[in-house]
Structure 1
Amino acid sequence: MKRLAWSLLIANVLAAGFFLARDHWPTASAPHSAPFNVDRLSLRRGDAPAATPRPSALPVEALCIEWRGLAADEFARVREQLKTMAGERVMSFTEIPLATRQWVLFPPLPSAEAAAAKADELAAAGVQDVFVVQDGPWRNAISLGLYGNEEATARRVRELEGKGVFGTRVELLPRQGTDFYFVVRSDDPDTLKDLGAIRQAYPNSQQSRIACPR
């Protein structure tokens, strides 16, 4: 009996100690999460606001200057000056005849033999004023006549088509002894300004801004 009483007393002491000590045990830590701190809030890289796109650059408009009124010797000197400028800058120039003729022709054939055969074929169809070009950039083309105006040229083309000749073309050729002028083209306004400075040495010539030929 005395042993039972001691056993109950020890059990009560242990139970009391358990409940008293439990209040001092560390609580299980919750999953770690940083406190929401507005002052330290930062956006992830993927959430960064998109940069405002820059407006695309507008295409640069080509500028053209027409340069007229140069004497024959002046024209030759200016040609060399323009060649030098074209080698140093982004620009080009064209020599335009003041007076032209219109050349009706059949485009170059692969060989002189083919051109001769085509000329015979045209002659057999009743086409007159036919000859094969022997040299130059139009070698082996077939000349079908030179005309002084568009009306005469158009009449010739209609005549040829009436005889079954198609595929002709019209080229402008300078008239013999005609004067020329320059058309200078560049995307750089400073280049065209420099042309004005060069013109001071040729006071009888004129420069004017024009729409660039297409």
Structure 2
Amino acid sequence: MKTTAWILLFLNIGLLVYFNLDRILPNAPTIQWAEISPEKISLLTEAQISKLPKIIKPAPQAVVAPIVTPPVSACFEWGTFSLASVSKVRLALEKLSIEPIINEHNAQTKKRFWVFVPPAKSAEAAQKLVSEYSTLGIDDMFIVQTPKWKNAISFGLFEDETLAQSLLSTLKAKGIKNAQKSLWKLEKGDASLLLNQLSSLQVSSLKNLEVDFPEANLKKVACK
């Protein structure tokens, strides 16, 4: 009996809740749809459209092109060389990816005068001399590497003896008493090399190569 009574009680409670849900639970929000009035819709003329506020789009930012710096290039004239040594020089230049223009001279080669300091006893002694001369304000010189004159200090080779003598006097005035001037051996024929459009790396390598050929002058010239 008690069980039946409890069942009837729960059934009555359930029916009571079911029929009073709208009072127990909150009402769902009512969505109100906007009413459209067809009589208020009209087509705009082109004049009316042109008067409507324009949507201004932001101007696209200008793309600044990167500044391309042209590679630095330089041109040199190197000479003179005996015709017998030109092939050796050309082979050395090919290793630096430099293609020279060879200008051969006639057999009546001008005299050349070399200003130098005789060979030192060792490479270390020669390098010490170069350092000492640098402190005197002398920069245009190099240590000769060819066997006959190895470790001599070369200050330049001149076709004009007056220029050679002037340099020699300057060196002696600065205290380099053992500087000398000598007539370079004459060849029956010679050539000079024109080196065009060299990069900074090639110029640096060329400066290092210069010491192997003390008989020639390397000078910068205008590129053509």
Which TM-score band (shorter chain)?
0.3 to 0.5
TM-score (norm 1): 0.36
- Give the TM-score normalised by structure 2: 0.34
